[in-house]
Chains A and B, each alone.
Chain A
Amino acid sequence: MKHIDILIIDDEIKFADMLGRRLSLRGITCHACYDGQSGLEWIKTHPGAVTLILLDLKLPDIYGTQVLETIKEIDPAVPVFIITGHGTREDETACLAMGASEFIHKPVNIEKLTTLLNRPRGEGT
Chain B
Amino acid sequence: MNRQPLIIRKQGWLEFLFHRPNVHLASFQTISNYPRIWIISIMILAVTSLAPLVFTTVINHQLIQKSVDSELVLQTDRVTSNAKRSMRFFLEERLNALQFVVNELPYYSLIDNEHLDKILSNLKLGFGGFTDLSIIDEDGSQIAYAGPFNLEGKNYKNQSWFIQSIEKDNFISEVFTGYRDIPHIIIAVRSETAYGRHFLLRATLDTQRLMSMLNSYKTNVHTDIFLINRTGVLQTPSTTYGKIFTPAPLKVPPYSDTTHVIRPEHPGKNGFIMGYSYIATEAVTTPFILMVHKKKSDVMGTWLNLGKTFNWIIGVCCLVMMVIITLVSTFMVNQLYLADQAKAETMLKMEQSQQLACIGQLSAGIAHEINNPLALINETAGYLKDLYQYPDEHRSDQETSELLDDILEAVSRCGTITSQLLGFVRQFDVQISSVNVEKLITGILSFHKKETEYKGIHVTTAISPNVPAIKTDRGKLQQILLNLINNAFQAIEANGCLDIKVSYLPPNKVSIEISDTGCGIPEENLKRIHEPFFSTKKDKMGTGLGLSITYGLVKKLQGTVRVESSEGIGTIFTVTLPVRNRKEGNA
Contacts and interface: CB of A to CB of B under 8 A. Distances in A.
Given A25-B386, A25-B390, A85-B368, A18 B380 contact: yes
Interface centre among B368, B378, B379 (most CB of A within 10 A): B379
A110 B386 CA distance: 10
Contacts of B393: 25
Interface string A13-38: 01100110110010000000000000
A85 B372 contact: yes
User: Chain B contact residues: over half helix, strand or loop, or mixed?
Assistant: helix
A58 interface: yes
12 contacts: A14-B376, A14-B380, A14-B406, A15-B379, A18-B376, A22-B386, A25-B393, A59-B454, A88-B364, A106-B374, A107-B375, A108-B379
A18 B374 contact: no
B382 A106 contact: no
A44 interface: no
Contacts of A110: 379, 382
Nearest to A110: B382
B386 A19 contact: no
A54 to B, nearest CB: 12
Contact of B379 (A22, A85, A86, A105): A22
A17 to B, nearest CB: 8
Interface in A42-68: 58-60, 63
Dominant SS at the A interface? loop
Contact of A107 (B364, B368, B378, B390): B378
Contacts of B390: 25
Interface residues of B, number: 20
B375 A12 contact: yes
Contacts of A88: 364
**Nearest 8 pairs of A and B residues by beta carbon:** A85-B371, A107-B378, A106-B375, A18-B379, A86-B368, A107-B375, A15-B376, A85-B372
B369 to A, nearest CB: 8
Interface in B444-479: 450, 453-454
Interface in A68-125: 85-86, 88, 105-108, 110
B371 A108 contact: no
A88 B379 CA distance: 22
Contacts of B374: 85, 106-107
Contact of A18 (B368, B383, B450): B383
A49 to B, nearest CB: 24
Given A14-B380, A15-B375, 14 more contacts: A18-B383, A25-B393, A60-B454, A63-B454, A85-B368, A85-B372, A85-B374, A85-B375, A86-B371, A105-B371, A106-B371, A106-B375, A110-B379, A110-B382
A107 B386 contact: no
B371 A21 contact: no
Contact of A12 (B364, B368, B372, B382): B372
B377 interface: yes
A107 B450 contact: no
Given A25-B393, A110-B382, A12 B376 contact: yes
Interface in B369-406: 371-372, 374-380, 382-383, 386, 390, 393, 406
Contacts, number: 57
Contacts of B378: 106-108
Interface of B: 364, 368, 371-372, 374-380, 382-383, 386, 390, 393, 406, 450, 453-454
Nearest to A13: B376
Given A14-B406, A58-B450, A85-B368, A21 B375 contact: no
A106 B372 contact: yes
Contacts of B375: 12, 15, 85, 106-108
Contact of A58 (B364, B380, B386, B454): B454
Contacts of B371: 85-86, 105-107
A12 B380 CA distance: 13
A39 B371 CA distance: 23
B75 to A, nearest CB: 101
A14 B376 CA distance: 7
A16 to B, nearest CB: 9
A25 B390 CA distance: 8
A60 B454 CA distance: 5
B48 to A, nearest CB: 60
Contact of B383 (A12, A22, A58): A22
B379 A60 contact: no
A22 B382 contact: yes
A66 to B, nearest CB: 12
A14 B382 CA distance: 13
A30 to B, nearest CB: 12
A86 B371 CA distance: 8
A69 B364 CA distance: 26
Given A22-B383, A107-B378, A15 B372 contact: yes
Contacts of B454: 58-60, 63
B365 to A, nearest CB: 9
B541 to A, nearest CB: 10
Contacts of A15: 372, 375-376, 379
A12 B375 CA distance: 10
A88 B374 CA distance: 17
Contacts of B450: 58
Contacts of A106: 371-372, 374-375, 378
Contacts of B364: 88
Contacts of B372: 12, 15, 85, 106
Contacts of A58: 450, 454
Most buried by A among B376, B378, B454: B376
A58 B369 CA distance: 11
Nearest to B392: A25
B13 to A, nearest CB: 51
Contacts of B368: 85-86
A106 B311 CA distance: 91
Nearest to B372: A85
Question: Which of A12, A18, A85 has the most chain B CB atoms inside 10 A of its CB?
Answer: A18
